[in-house]
Structure 1
Amino acid sequence: MDRIPILKMGPLLLVTIQVDMHDQLAATLLDDLSERISRHSARGVLIDISALDMVDSFIGRMISMIAGVASIMDATTVLVGMQPAVAITLVELGLTLPGVRTALDVERGMKLLQDSVDAR
Structure 2
Amino acid sequence: MTDRVPILKIGEILLVSIQFDLEDQKVLDLQDDLSNRIVETGAKGVIIDISSLEIVDSFVGRMLTVNASLSRVLGAETIVVGMRPAVAITLVELGLSLNDVRTALNLERGLKLLRRLNAGRA
What's the CA shift string for 1:9-34, capped at 9, x where partnerless?
A: 11110011111111111110000000
What is the aligned-residue identity percentage?
A: 57
1:65 aligned onto 2:73: no
- Tell me, what secondary structure is at the counterpart of 1:96? coil
Aligned residues: 120
The 2-side partners of 1:31 and 1:98 are apart by 21
Q: Structure 1: 5+ residue runs without aligned partners?
A: none
**Deviation of 1:74 (Å):** 1.6
The 2-side partners of 1:99 and 1:34 are apart by 17
1:4 aligned onto 2:5: yes
Residue of structure 2 equivalent to 1:16: 17
Which letter does structure 1 place at the counterpart of 2:101?
V
Residue of structure 2 equivalent to 1:31: 32
The 1-side partners of 2:104 and 2:87 are apart by 14
What's the CA shift string for 1:58-104, capped at 9, x where partnerless?
A: 11011111011001112111001001110001001111112210000
The 2-side partners of 1:2 and 1:34 are apart by 18
Which letter does structure 1 place at the counterpart of 2:52?
A
TM-score calculated relative to the size of structure 1: 0.96
Query: 1:78 touches 1:100 (CA, 8 Å); kept in 2?
Result: yes
The 4+ residue runs of structure 1 with deviation greater than 4 A are none
TM-score calculated relative to the size of structure 2: 0.94
